[in-house]
């Protein structure tokens, strides 16, 4: 069996189009989406049309939940511009998404951790505001009770594979549409991919277990960056252009 895992599209329809074209080029038919589909200042409505048209099985991310669990006035800066673009069909679809699921009987899927869509399953936040690889015992506690040998998560936008001591794998495919972000809770921290490409993962079942292939796809990122800039998010524009939140001199 072979399939693709995507996550954290964040309304970047150009990146999503490029990833779906890459998946098709590889001859892969099955795709699973790990959430955070729309939020941000980009093209939430077009992204919704693509996800619904392709009937991509999806779990609900924290940003997806924030589009449907509170009134518009209480939404944050990432939700308001996205919500304004979403149709009733898009919002109805979000309501149907599960917190977690098992994809094709082989892969456990969630957005953050199996307990909380805001938790970083594979990373720990240092006092300096850096996300480091989390201690294995903490990662494994959260995997207890999950029967699948392959587990998938998103949320941090950091492409990473962790092998548990029993050989099972947890894979974060990275972010399709948002290669960096910042957060002020519980204190300031940030993530930067260091490249602007659309990230996803291919998972292939082999005689030796699951083989993971990370893919990083070029797309027309400048148009999306301009949209972020025009809509008042210059650091997001920077990271979409080059993979860094601040512009670097060349």
CA-based nearest residue to 154, from 75, 64, 242: 64
- Considering the complex, what minimum distance in angstroms separates the CB of residue 207 from Fe ion? 34
CA-based nearest residue to 144, from 168, 171, 180: 168
Question: Looking at beta carbons only, is 36 or 79 nearer to Fe ion?
Answer: 36
- Considering the complex, what minimum distance in angstroms separates the CB of residue 137 from Fe ion? 26
Query: What are the CA-CA distances from residue 187 to residues 48, 78, 178, 183, 245 (Å)?
Result: 32, 18, 21, 7, 17
- Residues contacting Fe ion: total by CB under 5 A: 2
Beta partners for 130? Answer: none
Select the residue interacting with Fe ion from 36, 43, 64, 117 (CB under 5 A): 36
DSSP H helical ranges for 42-195: 44-53, 62-65, 79-83, 88-96, 136-143
Candidate segments 6-14, 20-28, 133-141, 201-209, binder of Fe ion by CB under 5 A? 6-14
Instruction: Concatenate the DSSP letters of all residues of 6-55 into one string.
Output: E---TT-HHHHHHHHHHHHHTT---EEE-S--S-SSS-HHHHHHHHHHTT
| Separation between Cα atoms, residue 146 and residue 151, nearest integer Å | 8
- Considering the complex, what minimum distance in angstroms separates the CB of residue 210 from Fe ion? 24
Largest CA distance in the chain: 52
Contact between 34 and 84 under an 8 Å Cβ cutoff? The reply is no
| Separation between Cα atoms, residue 116 and residue 227, nearest integer Å | 31
Candidate segments 7-15, 126-134, 197-205, 223-231, binder of Fe ion by CB under 5 A? 7-15
Select the residue interacting with Fe ion from 3, 5, 8, 14 (CB under 5 A): 8
Question: Looking at beta carbons only, is 183 or 204 nearer to Fe ion?
Answer: 183
- Considering the complex, what minimum distance in angstroms separates the CB of residue 17 from Fe ion? 19
Candidate segments 5-13, 18-26, 64-72, 163-171, binder of Fe ion by CB under 5 A? 5-13
Question: Looking at beta carbons only, is 34 or 227 nearer to Fe ion?
Answer: 34
Question: Looking at beta carbons only, is 17 or 36 nearer to Fe ion?
Answer: 36
- Considering the complex, what minimum distance in angstroms separates the CB of residue 36 from Fe ion? 3
End-to-end Cα, the chain, rounded Å: 43
- Considering the complex, what minimum distance in angstroms separates the CB of residue 157 from Fe ion? 6
Contact between 37 and 48 under an 8 Å Cβ cutoff? The reply is yes
- Considering the complex, what minimum distance in angstroms separates the CB of residue 90 from Fe ion? 17
Question: Looking at beta carbons only, is 168 or 236 nearer to Fe ion?
Answer: 236
Question: Looking at beta carbons only, is 18 or 34 nearer to Fe ion?
Answer: 34
Residues 43-62 that bind Fe ion (CB under 5 A): none
Which residues bind to Fe ion, rule: CB under 5 A? 8, 36
């Amino acid at each position: 069996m072979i399939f693709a895992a995507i996550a954290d599209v964040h309304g970047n329809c150009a990146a999503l189009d490029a990833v779906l074209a890459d998946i098709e080029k590889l001859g892969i038919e099955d795709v699973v989406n790990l959430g955070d589909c729309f939020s941000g200042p980009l093209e939430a409505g077009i992204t919704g049309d693509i996800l619904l048209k392709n009937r991509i099985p999806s779990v609900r991310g924290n940003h997806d939940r924030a589009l449907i669990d509170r009134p518009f006035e209480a939404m944050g800066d990432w939700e308001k511009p996205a919500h304004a673009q979403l149709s009733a069909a898009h919002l109805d679809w979000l309501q149907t998404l599960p917190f977690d699921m098992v994809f094709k009987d082989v892969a456990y899927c969630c957005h953050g951790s199996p307990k909380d869509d805001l938790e970083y399953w594979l990373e720990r936040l240092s006092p300096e505001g850096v996300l480091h690889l989390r201690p294995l015992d903490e990662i494994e506690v959260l995997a207890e009770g999950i029967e699948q040998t392959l587990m998938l998560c998103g949320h941090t936008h950091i492409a990473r594979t962790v092998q548990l001591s029993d050989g099972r794998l947890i894979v974060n495919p990275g972010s399709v549409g948002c290669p960096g972000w910042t957060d002020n809770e519980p204190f300031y921290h940030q993530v930067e991919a260091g490249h602007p490409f659309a990230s996803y993962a291919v998972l292939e079942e082999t005689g030796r277990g699951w083989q993971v292939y990370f893919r990083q796809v070029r797309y027309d990122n400048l148009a999306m960056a301009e949209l972020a800039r025009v809509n008042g998010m210059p650091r997001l524009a920077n990271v979409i252009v080059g993979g860094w939140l601040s512009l670097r001199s060349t």
